[in-house]
Amino acid sequence: MAKPPDDDPLGRFVVPGAVVLVGETHGTHELPAVVARLAALASGRGLPVAVALEVPSSEQPALDAFFARPDDPAARTALTASAFWHPPPGFDDGRAGRGMLRLLRALHRTAQRGTVAVRAVDLPWIEEATAVPDDVVALLARRDAVMADVAAAAFAPVATDGGVAILLAGNVHTRVRRRSPFGPAPLGACLTQRFPELVALQGHWSGGTCRAMGREPGEPVPRGARVLRLSPSPTAPGSAGLWTRAREVSRTGHHGWVNVGHLTPSSPLPAPHPGPEPTPARPGAQGSPGARIDP
């Protein structure tokens, strides 16, 4: 990714000790790229960076291995070998696609010039057709609180050291206010209790499409990711800022916005090559077979 321009509107949010939440709709190239821009801006100013992603924590070993070696086809194959990147039908929500891979590659390049730590904060991936442990069922009821705990642990030392902490998650998770008075606190609201000065930016767009969970007429529940057309947001393409009215914060659940312009859908990665073992490796396991992932 090219170095962000000095007049990038996101620059106002990149200051020592900043914690920035970026809300997205899953399955695009442009919204994950906001995190890449923020990280590059921070690194360019000599600030350490921590990035938290709505990715299963079971992917952490694969992420660590990827950032510890050069970015080449073999490294990308190992990174994307798990079931998270190749979910079974009905389990694909659009997160694991080329947009996410491009973000990780951009962060890898930024890490060559400065300090970048990447943390997967979501609940661990559960293999298809296996029993869901009771403790995981309980965790699902407080998923946002769990993600906040993991993110806060990664953010605290960096923010204290004058670095920049960045989180990418769905727009519902990054809200700093509950959608209903009796609902569970979203991730953003949980993090606000620990980082009162954090800024939550709602992802906006001028139109386009994403590849995310969608429900067809008559379907009781969504059945996996599909390409969805999105209406324009009420902000200018290329803009980023803070709401000046409390009612806007209340309505959106965010302190401000970042409008990335026209959205393009993030396509899924090619299916992994069959391996010698009929049973797929656990997510993040070393040596899992995978498709060759070229630039």
**pLDDT at residue 80 tops 50:** yes
50 and 119 in contact (C-beta within 8 Å)? yes
Given this model, what pLDDT does residue 179 score? 77
Looking at domain 10-211+226-263, its CATH architecture is: 3-Layer(aba) Sandwich (3.40)
The larger pLDDT score, comparing residue 121 to residue 273, is at 121
* The token pair that represents 192 in the structure block: 């606000």
In this structure, what is the dihedral angle of CA atoms 126, 36, 262, 151, given to the nearest 10 degrees? 40
pLDDT of 295 over the 50 cut: no
DSSP result, 187-245: HHHHHHTT-TT-EEEEEE-SEEEEEEE---TT-SS--SEEEEEEPPPSS-TT-EEE-SS
What is the average pLDDT score of the chain? 87
pLDDT above 60 (res 278): no
**Which has the higher per-residue pLDDT, 137 or 193?**
193
Compute the average pLDDT of residues 248-265.
Answer: 97
3-state SS class at 116: strand
CB 177 within 8 A of CB 249: yes
List the chain domain ranges: 10-211+226-263
Q: Is the pTM of this model over 0.95?
A: no
Taking the CB of residue 273, how many other CB atoms lie within 10 A of it? Answer: 11
Q: Give the whole-angstrom CA distance, residue 70 versus residue 188.
A: 33
pLDDT category at 194 given cuts 50, 70, 90 is: very high
pLDDT tens, position by position, 23-58: 999 999 999 999 999 999 999 999 999 999 999 999
Q: Tell me the C-alpha distance between 225 and 57, whole Å.
A: 21
CA angle 213, 289, 33 (to 5 degrees): 45
- Confidence (pLDDT) at 280: 39
The per-residue pLDDT for range 154-180, each reduced to its tens digit, is 999 999 999 999 999 999 999 999 877
